[in-house]
Amino acid sequence: MTERQAGSGEAVGTHEGTGELERLLGRWRVEGGATGTVTYRRLDGGFFLVQEVELEQDGRRITGIEVIGREKPFGAKAPGEDIVSRFYDNEGHTFDYVYETAGDTLTIWGGEKGSPAYFRGTFAADGDVLAGAWVYPGGGGYESTMTRIG
């Protein structure tokens, strides 16, 4: 188990949480097919991240929240291996994702791992830029760059 100090001073276990996504913590400016800001913060305990979204895409204002972590259903002794999420937006949509990291590459699968809908991006060496693209089956994807602003 690895531990990291949380902003509030308590030790946070990342062995079952979202440790590999720590680099997302903070506020980011989003540019590309969607523009605006996203903010990632850790919930107390270190097991989940929350993303708050304020974007404009295709002339629509999109706001929402996403809860990201390993599922540990009622009665389970241990959480699942995959980091999964559910996103809720101001238009009533709910979207499920699976997060996967490999070195400096982040893949966010739409629905399930291996889906034909996904985002794949690479973090810059300093960790303050994540550049990549959303890919959708049949086209319609777009490039996206996130730059840390806080």
Q: pLDDT tens digits, residue range 101-149?
A: 999 999 999 999 999 999 999 999 999 999 999 999 998 899 999 999 9
Residue 43 domain-assigned (yes or no): yes
Residue 6 domain-assigned (yes or no): no
Residue 10 domain-assigned (yes or no): no
Residue 47 domain-assigned (yes or no): yes
Residue 8 domain-assigned (yes or no): no
Residue 5 domain-assigned (yes or no): no
Residue 3 domain-assigned (yes or no): no
The pTM of this model reads: 0.88
Share of the chain above pLDDT 90, in %: 84
Q: What's the pLDDT band for 16 if we cut at 50, 70, 90?
A: low
Residue 98 domain-assigned (yes or no): yes
Write phi, then psi, for 145 (nearest 5 degrees).
-125, 130
Q: For residue range 70-81, what is the model confidence (pLDDT) as tens digits?
A: 999 999 999 999
- How far apart (Å, rounded) are the C-alpha atoms in residues 104 and 118? 16
Structural domains counted in the chain: 1
3-state SS class at 21? helix
- How far apart (Å, rounded) are the C-alpha atoms in residues 122 and 107? 9
- For residue 13, pLDDT over 50 is answered with no
Contact 150/128 with Cβ under 8 angstroms?
no
Please report the pLDDT score of residue 14 as a whole number: 46
Burial of 150 (0-12, 13-18, 19+ CB in 10 A): exposed
55: CATH? 2.40.128.20
Q: Please report, for residues 107, 129, 130, the alpha-carbon distance to residue 55 in angstroms, rounded to integers and kept in the order given.
A: 20, 18, 17
| Residue numbers of the domain that contains 114 | 19-148
Please report the pLDDT score of residue 8 as a whole number: 38
- For residue 43, pLDDT over 90 is answered with yes
Sole residue written with tokens 């903070």: 26
Q: Note the residue count of the chain.
A: 150
